[in-house]
Amino acid sequence: MYTSKITGLGHYVPENVVTNDDLSKMMDTNDAWIQERTGIKERRHIKKGDGNSTSVMGVKASEIALKEANLTPNDIDMIVFATLSPDMYFPGGGVEVQEMMGMRTIPALDVRNQCSGFVYAMSVADQFIKTGMYKNILVIGSENHSGGLDFTTRGRSVSVIFGDGAGAAVVSRNEQDDTGILSSHLHSEGKHKDELALQGPSTEYWVPEIIEKNPQEDIPYYPYMNGQFVFKHAIVRFAEVIHEGLEANGLTVADIDMLIPHQANLRISQFIQQKLKLSDDQVFNNIQKYGNTTAASIPIALSEAHKAGKIKKGDLVVLAAFGSGFTWGSVIVRW
């Protein structure tokens, strides 16, 4: 069997910066309240009419990743697109990327695993590469949260957390050395599905328009999150799946050079860092700037960390995520 290797990374976030002070003008909140609970200072939001969408941002991130990998769109054999906020209910964002980038009639697979979406997508790409079926796979995580959030006081516990953006990775066949993806580990526990969920529309049909046509008190169109419940489960599952990945490869926490956790909440990342006894140089966080971008958070963070020179050849890089479903997973990479 072959091994798979990340050969290109890219990310894109909208230009529109939304600070905590900006949100305080829309709802009863303030900068101190948000930072204390989430660590977030600002996030990026699409401006309606600015030309961005979930798929468009995915394309912008992908173009950067392809350039870094020294590949063209015609070199890509498959697209794996992770998002919870597709431009339409169906078809998914993968085929939109295929069309926008002028690719051949390659397969486009959409992954709907929310915060764990990119980890799941990387696992899928890894298997297709390992079996020899494909040589270069484009893996994308992209989210447009801002179109479907409740920007009133009623929704402040959720709406202050999320931001928009996209990240992409080119995963390629590796035949030269022992670097690349060592293993991936995936889990789910559907009995907690209602603790973090959205039962409503896509971002193409905006929530305020729906409510105007169909006003009601109990609104299922906005995301719901039982924050404390999610937090308690996240810190357990994060640690478990990181250890699982390390043990599967005969490694220990001491071998980690860089942990890229899903940017759910800075407090969760800090708790995991302390639990694993990792230094600040061993964990990369950027939720302070972008908020929680769900499926896009790991590829954005991975791209930023790599471009900042924080990851070098030979480093052991661990990707780990936990989110709605509940689903969680890890990917162990030798850079």
Residue 262 bears catalytic tag: yes
HEC per residue, 264-319: CCHHHHHHHHHHHCCCHHHECCCHHHHCECHHHHHHHHHHHHHHCCCCCCCCEEEE
Residue 249 bears catalytic tag: no
The contacts of residue 278 (CB under 8 Å, 6+ apart) are 253, 256, 259
- Candidates 11, 262, 285, 286; catalytic one: 262
CA-CA distance, 114 to 104, in Å (whole number)?
28
- Candidates 52, 265, 285, 292; catalytic one: 292
- Candidates 11, 115, 136, 185; catalytic one: 115
Residue 174 bears catalytic tag: no
Q: Long-range pairs for 203-210 at CB < 8 Å and ≥24 separation?
A: 203/53, 203/54, 203/85, 203/86, 203/87, 203/144, 203/147, 203/148, 204/87, 204/88, 206/147, 206/148, 207/147, 207/148, 207/149, 207/150
Count of C-beta atoms within a 10 Å radius of residue 107: 15
Residue 92 phi, psi (nearest 5)? -80, 180
Count of C-beta atoms within a 10 Å radius of residue 274: 9
Task: Tell me if 14 sits within 8 A of 163, measured CB to CB.
Answer: no
User: Which amino acids are annotated catalytic?
Assistant: 115, 262, 292
